[in-house]
Structure 1
């Protein structure tokens, strides 16, 4: 079986790159844990963007990333939202939040209010599972991981055999940097990605 990152590159036809802006050691220190190797490998090849317009991710080492926003909002801000008992994200779910052992740690979203998180157990981050919260359906789904396998499955699936449980049909199998939709299927990349 091929490595998921190589298949993701092939399926999307991605030929762009990353502008290194910081070291992984700094990101891991700021988050408070070692991150999975596949995540770091993926972001050595891809900047921030969206896979199949469904999985939206931010590359924390890319120089174009607003790093304080990433740490403050996309990591710890999401953890605060998940912890808000009034919002009931964890009601009827057997999850804790990072930094607790086996706590949820966000790594992406679906652009529609759904969240993708690692389940931070066991101690080896390369064995972390993935949990997805479906906004509007008020439930969690799990995938055995790693996160690049979740992305690969979403890119190659036509049916509902993916973490979302959605029939993906003819959605384009692309990676799109942060862009503005112009209509008629046209997209304009944000200035820093042109």
Structure 2
């Protein structure tokens, strides 16, 4: 199945979505290439959220040892994921290379198990905070999200079933969500935001 076409069907992008990324510079700083389906996703959708539940990240320039990464950025969440892996597997000597691409409102972390030299072969691994366990899924990021929408796993991989088996989903780019909030509109309901202006910009 062409998974990206299925994603477009279930979750159309909106005007102004998508991000332009200097992949040569980003991949040089990370020391690895990124999967092609993810790059396609970023070009069409970009950094943002699905149904105000699952947030998807764009990589920032990777900061080397001793540097400080952006809080809640891809590097920070990847380091957090590896800390969680070590805590969940205290008897395992080596921590695999994890790159986080998504987090959700249930505090789950969605990553690639980035150990293969070919990024398109990286499986998705999910830290389920509610179950306190890691689960591996033999598919890429776009296929994983589509199969989540289609309820094609044995059970919902995430801590909430709001995206599980849904017929359609809504994606909002991070900047569009911020624009709507500044305009006093709740981004996810389209109604006036009762909290507009209460917390500054």
Query: So what's the TM-score if we normalise by structure 2?
Result: 0.69
Correspondence for 1:31:
30
* Residues 149 and 165 of structure 1, relative CA distance in 2, 3 Å threshold: farther
5+ long unaligned stretches in structure 2: 64-68, 193-201
CA distance in 2, matches of 1:104, 1:184: 31
Kindly report the root-mean-square deviation, in angstroms, between the aligned alpha carbons of the 2 structures.
3.6
Cα-to-partner distance string for 1:67-125 (whole Å, 9 max, x where unaligned): 4699634233224334447x82444779724xxxxx21111112321101111132111
* Residues 69 and 134 of structure 1, relative CA distance in 2, 3 Å threshold: same
Q: Contact 1:150–1:163 (CA<8 Å) still a contact in 2? A: no
CA distance in 2, matches of 1:126, 1:113: 26
Q: Work out the number of aligned pairs and report it.
A: 176
Counterpart of 1:35 in 2: which secondary structure?
coil
Higher strand residue share: 1
5+ long unaligned stretches in structure 1: 61-66, 98-102, 189-194
For the pair shown, the structure with the greater C-alpha radius of gyration is 2
Aligned residue runs from structure 1 range 44-83, under 5 A = 44-60=43-59, 67=60, 72-73=70-71, 74-83=73-82
Query: So what's the TM-score if we normalise by structure 1?
Result: 0.72
CA distance in 1, matches of 2:153, 2:123: 22
